[in-house]
Amino acid sequence: MISYQPPPDAGLDLLYEDGALVVVNKPAGLLSVPGRGEDKADCLVSRVQAVFADAMIAHRLDMDTSGLLVLARGPAMQKKLFEMFRERKVSKRYQAVVAGVLQDKEGAVDLPLIVDWPNRPRQKVDFQEGKPSLTRFRRLAADAAGDCSRVELEPVTGRTHQLRVHMAAIGHPILGDELYAGPAQARAERLLLHASRLEFRHPITDEALRFESPPPF
């Protein structure tokens, strides 16, 4: 098994901070929270806590996914943000580069997902026991010569690996995905998936907040 090799700590890519929350860009290859063992202690939340000691995770991104993360400051705010995510009061958008040219300019993938227990952490489509899972997609650009498409993805539900499994399930895996892309994994040096936009109302002031982060690929 490949050892965990997080990217060097070059300081936080900080987009916003106040007494309630912090918004940062997570680099690809960095865990959102600590993994098992001391070798997996370096993570996004520990790096943020080095600057904001009361920062607490409110949601996660896969290790190989880059992009926007909001962290709560203190347990009361963490509870509030958990509720906002659970009640779908936070709008999330991702950008990805997928294999093949999507014929539809937009659409949705509605396939139930469940953990593939013998092959954890993989997830799989399961129509009998899977949990309802919905992803909306919009084609941003198509490259016939390169046999790929750039897409915007909206996870309406928030299942583990949802975007990755759904795109692979419709025949357009995300380039660089070591779990689901098959031969398309070798077409990129990293998973080409980036959390590019977050929108929500401030949990204290009710101000409308919108954060954007262009993908680094």
> What predicted TM-score, i.e. pTM, was given to this entire model?
0.96
Which pLDDT score, from 0 to 100, does residue 188 have? Answer: 98
Low-confidence ranges of the chain (pLDDT < 70): 1-2
Classify 4 as helix, strand or coil: coil
Please give the C-alpha separations between residue 80 and each of 44, 162, 188, 209, in angstroms, as whole numbers: 20, 24, 38, 16
One of 9, 18, 42, 62 is an active-site residue; which one?
62
Which pLDDT score, from 0 to 100, does residue 3 have? Answer: 85
Tokens matching residue 63 = 């290790």
Which pLDDT score, from 0 to 100, does residue 71 have? Answer: 98
Q: Is 62 a catalytic residue?
A: yes
Which pLDDT score, from 0 to 100, does residue 2 have? Answer: 66
| DSSP 8-class letter at 66 | E
Please give the C-alpha separations between residue 116 and each of 12, 31, 137, 152, 172, in angstroms, as whole numbers: 35, 21, 24, 26, 20
Which pLDDT score, from 0 to 100, does residue 77 have? Answer: 98
Q: pLDDT for 33-64, tens place per residue? A: 999 888 999 999 999 999 999 999 999 999 99
Sign of the CA dihedral 59, 94, 23, 69? positive
